[in-house]
Amino acid sequence: GYVLVRCLRNPAMGPPMSDADRQEGFANRWQALKAILVPGLIALLVLGSIYGGVASVTEAAAMGVFGVLLAVVLRGEFSVKTLHESLGQTLVTCGMIIWIGIGAAALVGVYNLMGGNRFISGMITGLDVAPIVIILVMMAILLVLGMFLDWIGVAMLTLPIFVPIVEQLGYSPIWFGILFAVNMQVSFLSPPFGPAAFYLKGVAPPEVSLKDIFVSLLPFIALQLCVLFALLFWPNLAMWLV
């Protein structure tokens, strides 16, 4: 919506296709369709099996891996080197997640054994402030942590502490989970470690700097924050299906 409004206000930002591009449009569209057909089918298979209750998340993930491997073989792009690199990257990612989980479990375990959950819950719920103020503080903490940590690490570190407090304040944990997801979307764009900016830098022309990308992401960060505040003050926007 934001891109559409900007282009309507300034048509030069979204120029029309040239005649040559129009003539080649159908061929290009067919090539693009063929390029996304197999990934789209794999995504449909994975998500459809999860939401249809056919497979668990782990089983669906295994089906997705098998589908990708089969597609690579059928397209003649399979090689032992590619398989080795993929397995190596997977092991690195899984190892990082496991160590984050171990650290978070140790931290939360010691925190609970020392009575930290009861102490923090009693202290926060005893504050003479509106409950929504406490939620705002939690969102601010999540926003700052999301700038420096992966969302999985943020979830493992904060949710075991925050969710019991949210329930004591009388809020739905489902609503708080939606707020958490939107908050992590903001961190996905925000500097200094916004992954989306680095992904864009990898495919952008050389003359586009990382600074240009972060500056151009500011309106989208503002829109995400507007969505976050809307969900904070009008919970029914997120809970009307529950």
Cα–Cα distance measured from residue 223 to residue 199, given in angstroms and rounded to the nearest whole number: 20
- Taking only the tens place, the pLDDT of each residue in 34-62 is 777 888 888 888 888 888 888 888 888 88
Q: Under a CB-based contact definition with an 8 Å cutoff, are residues 192 and 147 in contact?
A: yes
- Taking only the tens place, the pLDDT of each residue in 166-207 is 888 889 999 999 999 999 988 888 877 777 888 787 778 888
Residue boundaries of the structural domains of the chain: 1-78, 116-242
pLDDT over threshold 70, residue 241 = no
pLDDT of residue 97: 76
Cα–Cα distance measured from residue 93 to residue 66, given in angstroms and rounded to the nearest whole number: 19
Q: How many CB atoms lie within 10 A of CB 39?
A: 12
pLDDT of residue 144: 87
> Which residues are within 8 A (CB) of 151 and not within 5 positions of it... i.e. 6 or more apart?
184, 187, 188
pLDDT over threshold 80, residue 111 = no
